[in-house]
Chain A
Amino acid sequence: MTINLNTNENPYLPDEKIHQAAMKGLDDINKYPELSDINELKKLLSKYNADFPSEQIILSHGSDLLLREIINIFSKERKIMMLSPSFFSVSNYVLEQAGKLTKFQLSPPHFALDTDFLLNELNEPTLLLIDNPNNPTGKIVLNYNLVGKILQNKNTLVLVDEAYFEFSGQTFAGLLKNYPNLIITRTMDKAFSLAGLRLGYLLAGDYFKDYFSDYPQLLSEPTVFAAIESLKNIELMKQVVAKIVDERERVSKKLKELGFEVFPSETNFLLIKSKIPELALKLKNKGILIYDLSSIYFNDFYRITIGNSNENDNLLNTILEID
């Protein structure tokens, strides 16, 4: 059986109660979802996010759709700025209507942003897209001080994707109240183990909220019920995250011992540099998938999702066989 360590999924199934809640959502699949269920989910998300106003939380089947929406709407006649590498997608259509696309290359070993240079670049209407922690480097690239400075520039709209917030513990949600030009995307795919049900959401600053007032948010009932159940027991999620973080550190240490360069991560994956030629292909031939970044980033760089302990042991043992 193939072990998938290439898509940053959570290796653990959600709790049985959550599974049952999703199943219950199938009872009335001939009917549209109930608005009251959607509102309950929003209320729980509000509570989960330090009582952020639920009317400024926008739901979607996957945060990718929300990202696409924001980029499509808010890039018009703005310069788009983003990191390279990152998994934001800017289509030719968007580029046509945008002023310009500027990417900041993140380079090892620190993958750091030149913050002065960044701030100087905010000299025209800009849409800044940052995944924090960044995928695939796993690195936190922003801090509170920097984001505050960026947001003081009223011509700049800032989208921070916090898909890995539960792993990094860092969020800029606290700045939403004071800065209308900030918008945050989140997902329940990763920490909450709900990738298959696709639940993404926005924490929208005031500037954005009107644009989303008519955004269709009637999600499928299995998704809504599972998400509600998950948010009723945050502790379960926290335990799973802690388990993955422990495993991440164990795998990181072992990979270093095996001679790999392993970069610090604040996510559920590791960025590594390997001198074993075609590592991903060799692992694939032995039934383990990892993400080969050579096509979009540097040669010899790979992203490995942290699996459960068996999967991780399997990975480490297999690497020993091929080296």
Chain B
Amino acid sequence: MKKIGLIVNPIAGMGGSVGLKGTDGETVKEAIALGAEPTTPKRIEETLSLIQRKDLYFLVAPGKMGEDYLKRFDFKYEVASKIGKDTNADDTKRIVLEMLKKGIKLLIFVGGDGTARDIYDAVGLTIPVVGIPSGVKMFSPVFALSPKAAAQIIDNNSSQLIEEEVLDIDEDAFRAGKLGAKLYGYLKVPKNIELLQGKKEPSNLSKPEEQSKEEIAKYLLENIEKDTLYILGPGTTLSTIAEKLNIQKTLLGIDAIFNEQLVGSDLNEKGLLEIIKKHGKAKIILTPIGGNGFIFGRASKQFTPRVLKLIDKKDVIVVATEDKISRLECLRVDTGDTETDNKLKGQVKVITGYKTETIIEVK
């Protein structure tokens, strides 16, 4: 039997649908107050239901940190350590260290970048890990592309390991109005190349990049339609468009403009639903995450399936600098709702500069 650890960050991803940038530290209380519901159970259950291997022996964190989900399946397991009512990052680190002492050979964790940082603090490069993406922020390429992909990686049992970065929002740069990923360390992941999420490349503000964004903004503004609600996703490319309109855009938030005026700022799912219903016709302008190409289901989780059901595919305007798009094999969606994902899949035109576009597949 292969001893593997399983730990779940029960609050990861909760901030997404209510427009928070994460649930690190005290933010979780705000998320709960705003009506956020846990997203992790569905993610971990999907992975567990797809694992075919029968030779696994789990050391699982107690209760909502793992046991609650695992016990519904037929796996052999024992519970590692204890937890109180509220859990935090220290619990994650403490429990993982106990699992290590008990000899786990692989650790499966569910969460986002914050969780990845905690896992890195505890295991470093000692054993390989498989990250099931469930957070709001997922800059780190340590995560599998989806719960399904995570199950495949666990089944494939590759002995070849690669080091992947643990990245998180660079808080200092973020406060200075720049979107960048900061390197916090490395984790070892089983080699399974196609299935790993690509590295989130921070959009550096170098001159050609900036010029490219200027061009995109110019082109979009020339083609902007009157009496149409435009919802702007996060990122520096979109900020450039807002600047042209003298609008103060939030860097990681979702904002809305109507006839060149800001009509919604840092909108969460509820705010988006309301504003779209109010204006009737809406278009989304957004940019993919560099490196892995996600347009929905990663950085901007406020775009929930419920929101996206109100938007036609042709009204999703994807913009990206040529440099960013030429390095993407495809764009990706993972909203958690198959029907919504399927609606968005297929070829899409990405605006890459003034009068220039690239046709690329959304998978």
Minimum C-beta distance from B358 to chain A (A): 4
B326, A117: Cβ atoms under 8 Å? Answer: no
**Chain B interface residue count, Cβ-Cβ cutoff 8 angstroms:** 22
Q: Return 27 A-B CB contacts under 8 Å, by A number.
A: A84-B326, A95-B356, A98-B355, A100-B355, A100-B356, A100-B357, A101-B355, A101-B357, A102-B358, A103-B357, A103-B358, A104-B358, A104-B359, A105-B326, A105-B328, A105-B329, A105-B360, A107-B360, A107-B361, A108-B329, A114-B359, A114-B361, A117-B359, A121-B359, A275-B162, A275-B191, A294-B327
What is the bound-complex CA distance between A98 and B328, given in angstroms?
26
Contact with B along A77-118 (1 / 0, CB 8 A): 000000011000000000100111111110110000010010
Write out the residue numbers on chain A whose beta carbons fall within 8 Å of the beta carbon of B357.
100-103
B148 at the interface (CB under 8 A from A): no
Distance in angstroms from B25 CB to nearest chain A CB is: 33
Whether A102 contacts B361 by the Cβ 8 Å rule is no
A14 CB to closest chain B CB (Å) equals 36
| Inter-chain contacts of A105 with B (CB < 8 A) | 325-326, 328-330, 358-361
Interface secondary structure of B, over-half rule:
mixed
* Chain B residues with CB below 8 A from A95, complex form: 354-356
For residue A239, CB closer than 8 A to chain B, the reply is no
CB atoms of A101 and B326 under 8 A apart: no
Besides the known contacts A103-B359, A104-B359, A117-B359, 20 further A-B residue pairs in the complex with CB atoms under 8 A apart: A84-B358, A98-B355, A100-B355, A100-B357, A101-B356, A102-B356, A102-B358, A103-B357, A105-B325, A105-B326, A105-B329, A107-B360, A117-B347, A275-B191, A294-B327, A297-B326, A297-B327, A298-B328, A299-B198, A299-B327
- By a CB distance below 8 angstroms, the chain B residues around A85 are 326
Which B residues fall within an 8 A CB radius of A? Answer: 162, 191, 193, 198-199, 325-330, 347, 349, 352, 354-361
Q: Given the complex of chains A and B, what is the CA–CA distance between A292 and B191 in angstroms?
A: 22
Interface presence of A296 (CB below 8 A): yes
* Beta-carbon contact of A107 and B356 below 8 Å: no
Complex Cα gap A98–B193 (Å): 40
> For A84, A121, A297, which residue has the most chain B Cβ atoms within 10 angstroms?
A84
Q: Which of A98, A102, A298 contacts B349 (CB 8 A)?
A: A102
User: Which residues of A from 280 to 317 have beta carbons under 8 Å from B?
Assistant: 294, 296-299
Distance of A121 Cα from B198 Cα, bound (Å): 30
Contacts of A121 in B (CB 8 A): 359
CA A107 to CA B198, docked complex, whole Å: 15
